[in-house]
Structure 1
Amino acid sequence: MSQDLPVRGYHHITMCVGSAQEDYDFHVKVLGLRMIKKTVLFDGNEPFYHLYYGNASGQEGSLVTTFPMSWKTSGSVGSGQVRILSLSVPAGSFSFWKQRLERFGYATRVENRLGVTRLCFNHPCGIEYEIVETPDDIRKAWTEGGVPLEAAIQGMRSVTISARDISPFSAFLVDGLGFISEGNDGKNVRFAMGRGADAALLEVLHEEDRPQGSWTWSCGTVHHIAFDLPTASVQMDLKLHLEGLGYTDVSEVKDRNYFNSVYVRTPAGALFEAAVTQEKGWLKDESAETLGQDLKFPDRLNYRKDEMIARLEPIVD
């Protein structure tokens, strides 16, 4: 892996969920995240929201994004998908989160995996979440969502992928993306993007008997994870690097209005995205103070704006 192809960490995670209001209430009113951007899916013809939640500034690596699609039949949850999203919180805040989640009606349990204690719970659509205390995380949390600074979510800590075969996926992560293997815990393996306290983590569960999960738009599944790259030239170098290794299922660059992306289907089946934030990012069409307040459309979809709004579920703050 060439040293000039740095994956700096996570950019965002995108999941298919149920009701838009239910999803908004979960992320904003329960988890205390900030609504960063309210827009729509840019692919295909069927209108549905693309909602972005994050920390105070919507920093790369803090972003949980969702496609509400309550009308879609739930897909098959299984291997070849992201299974768990782990969120980073300050040290000493476990008891706060346990009490808060249970007060809102969410069942919790405590697990230990790869030497880390986790507070586990589920999104209303069934996707698995975890809270992990991360003392060295200095990202600026959003504190206007009902959660105090000493407990507020700072961003993504890691994602956990279910894989039926570890070896080819490990080779893709190490040789293709430059991740560093940090060892295993039985059948579970951890990889780091970078070194030291700032390294982002990806975890893999070796579940060889787990049936293959869905790759389509399917309520209750994670669609993809996106990694943060610094520039368009690095993004193109990574695309060519992966193709040169034989991973030819790499998309062309797609304009996502706030960032540019290429996608690759990994050997494990999980879909990865390499994203480069555009110059103005979230501030392209909103101020820092008004992020996420209005529904935004890219210029190329303005001609469908009224039609799409009429078919979208209202979201009440």
Structure 2
Amino acid sequence: MKTEGLHHVTAFAKNPKVNLAFYTEVLGLRLVKKTVNFDDPGTYHFYFGNETGDPGTILTFFPFQGSMKGTVGNGQAGRIDLAVPKGALTFWKRRLEGLGIAVRETELFQEKVLLFQDAEELQLSITEAGESGQSTWEAAGIPRHYAIIGMKGVTLNSHRPEATISFLEEQFGYRKKGEDGDCVRLESGGTIGNRLDVKINGQTRGTGGYGTIHHVAFRTNHKDQQEWKRLLNASGFSTSEVLDRQYFTSIYFREKGGILFEMATDGPGFLVDEDPAALGTALKLPDWLEQHRRQIEGVLPKWE
């Protein structure tokens, strides 16, 4: 069994208004779902992605107002790498710098990369990835032929890098593509969200808070999810039960390097409770929280 790559990445934020503005107005992603953290319904859960929120394009955030700044380190994913079409890097460098965002241009694995942070110091990068196609979502000031396609990958900071790499190769079917400095690059067979860079030099332990990543989710389907659970348990990993996340079902576990992983199904997707044109325009709640809508709306942060 293999995974095609990333389904989504979930991070912490602090200010919902700032978070929304950065990912929709600065980066031009679509807000495909506005809901709540099912485990803490007084907190928003935002999903950003391409036009329909396809797996591999999804960035999700828990904006906890009043939260403390986190520290990126071991036991976490560290940086989200975003993909754009060939020839788009110059546009993005000019756009980000024109908006007052500090950008560092560098080269990783013989590719030009733009390194920067979002408005709450989450580490991001942009790289060209022609094989990933082109976005069908066009935001103000960002032509489609320059628009972000989705994720290219994510950087993993492991307490035990060799164990993490072995797990990804032997359990998830990733292939080692090379080394550059303190990173080992692994790739899956997919064309989007298919890259993982594992840092091999030790860092201090990461701490949760805004500007850090909570977990990394990998793609599966309903048929294989139970088999993944069985295989992981048989390999000594403690997994959660299958949890209903409304737009996919999930199991969670920590790999041996301490990073929280999720196996999330591709379906049913974000169109299950909204029409394509209306995605992200209303607060959507699952059936088991709908009866508490008035109370939930009363405690959610207001900014509009």
* TM-score (norm. length: structure 1): 0.91
Residue of structure 2 equivalent to 1:213: 206
Query: How far off is 1:63 after superposition?
Result: 0.5
| Aligned: 1:52 with 2:47 | yes
Distance apart, 1:67 and its partner CA: 0.6
2:129: which partner in 1?
A: 134
Q: Which residue of 2 aligns with 1:245?
A: 235
SS where residue 55 of structure 2 aligns? Answer: coil
Q: 1:102 to 1:186 in 2, by over 3 A?
A: closer
Equivalent residues of 1:114, 1:188 under 8 A apart: no
Q: CA deviation at 1:232?
A: 1.6
Question: Which position in structure 1 is the counterpart of 2:172?
Answer: 177
Give the AA of the match of 2:62: F
Between the aligned partners of 1:97 and 1:103, the Cα distance in structure 2 is 10
Structure 1 stretch displaced more, 235-244 or 138-147 = 138-147
Structure 1: segments with no counterpart, 5+ residues = none
- Per-residue displacement from partner, 1:27-49 (whole Å, max 9, x unpaired)? 00000111100000011x45100
Alignment match, 1:20: 16
Offset, 1:141: 3.7
Counterparts of 2:137 and 2:59, CA distance in 1: 14
**Partners of 2:56 and 2:193 in 1: CA distance:** 11
- Fraction of identical pairs, as percent: 35
Which deviations, in whole Å up to 9, do the C-alpha atoms of 1:127-175 show, x marking residues without a partner? Answer: 1100101122115341134310121000000101112432111111112
Residue equivalent to 1:146: 141
Task: Give 2:150's aligned amino acid.
Answer: G
**What amino acid is aligned across from residue 212 of structure 1 in structure 2?**
R
- Where do 1:92-241 residues align within 5 Å? 92-194=87-189, 200-208=194-202, 210-214=203-207, 216=208, 218-229=209-220, 231-241=221-231
1:6 paired with 2:8, answer no
- The answer to whether structure 1 residue 255 and structure 2 residue 258 are counterparts is no
Shift of 1:77: 2.3
* 8 Å contact kept, 1:48–1:69: yes
Contact 2:82 2:125 in 1 (8 A): yes
| 8 Å Cα contact 1:163-1:207 kept in structure 2 | no
1:271 matched residue in structure 2: 260
> CA contact under 8 A between 2:122 and 2:210: conserved in structure 1?
no
Question: Given residue 259 of structure 2, which amino acid in structure 1 is its aligned partner?
Answer: A
Distance verdict in 2 for CA 1:40–1:85, change over 3 Å: same
SS at match of 1:219: coil
Indicate conservation of the 8 Å contact 1:108/1:119, yes or no.
yes
Most deviating of 178-187 and 116-125: 178-187
Contact 2:150 2:193 survives alignment (8 Å): no
Report the Cα distance in structure 2 between the residues aligned to 1:111 and 1:137, rounded to whole angstroms.
21
CA distances 1:74-93 after superposition (whole Å, capped 9, x unpaired): 23321111111010001111
Q: CA deviation at 1:315?
A: 4.9
Q: 1:235 to 1:145 in 2, by over 3 A?
A: farther
Q: Indicate yes or no: 2:278 matched with 1:283.
A: no
Q: Determine helix, strand or coil for the equivalent of 2:288.
A: helix
Match of 1:41 among 37, 44, 52: 37
TM-score where L is the length of structure 2? 0.95
Distance 2:68 2:41 in 1: 15
Unaligned runs of 5+ in 2: none
Deviation at 1:198?
A: 6.0
Partner SS state of residue 47, structure 1: strand
The answer to whether structure 1 residue 312 and structure 2 residue 303 are counterparts is no
